Each structure stands twice: as structure tokens, then as C-alpha cells.
Amino acid sequence: MRRSEAAEEATLSVPDTRMIKIGAALTGGGLMLATMGMALAAISALRGAMVWSRQRGISPATAAAVKMEQAKHASIAGMHAWREHAGATTDGHRAH
């Protein structure tokens, strides 16, 4: 076989479309299964959160407000502790 014939044969070769179709079908099936699994996990997590919220007896908004108030107090306490530990003066500079 001459060099030009080999080059011509290589350009005329067609990929195996059957394998490409099988790969695409398997990929699509896998994506569908993954999507269904993620949806089931999300539904389960949401239901669990709803049951937990009902058992606590307070609304999520009230729980969030309580946590925000706790965070504010913790922040203020941390700020005061930092200033006390660092020996801050009234002008904001550290005493040496």
C-alpha cells in the first residue's frame, strides 16, 4: 500500500457510531439516576427539617431571631474581651 492510499483510507474511515450511541445512552441514563437520587435526598432532608422544626415548637423565623440575638451578644463580648486583653486605650492604640 502506498503512502497516499493509506492517507486516503485514514480520512475516509468513519467512527463506530454504535459505540457512540451506546455511550450517549449510558451517560443519559446515569444523569437521570443521579438527578433522581439528588431529588430524593433533598426531599428527605426537607421533610426531616420540617419534623425537627415542629418538634421544637417555635417557628423558623423565631429560631433565627434568637440565634441572631445570641450572635450579637457573643460578638460584643468578644470585642470587649479583645480590648481588655490587648490593653487598648481610649484613642484605639495599644498601650506598650
Question: pLDDT tens digits for the chain (96 residues)?
Answer: 566 666 666 666 778 899 999 999 999 999 999 999 999 999 999 999 888 888 888 888 888 999 999 999 999 999 999 988 887 555 556 555
Contacts of 66 (CB under 8 A, 6+ apart): 58
How high is the pLDDT of residue 4? 63
How high is the pLDDT of residue 6? 62
CA-CA distance, 64 to 94, in Å (whole number)? Answer: 36
pTM: 0.47
CA-CA distance, 54 to 36, in Å (whole number)? Answer: 27
How high is the pLDDT of residue 23? 95
Which cell numbers in the block locate residue 50? 420540617
Residues counted in the chain: 96
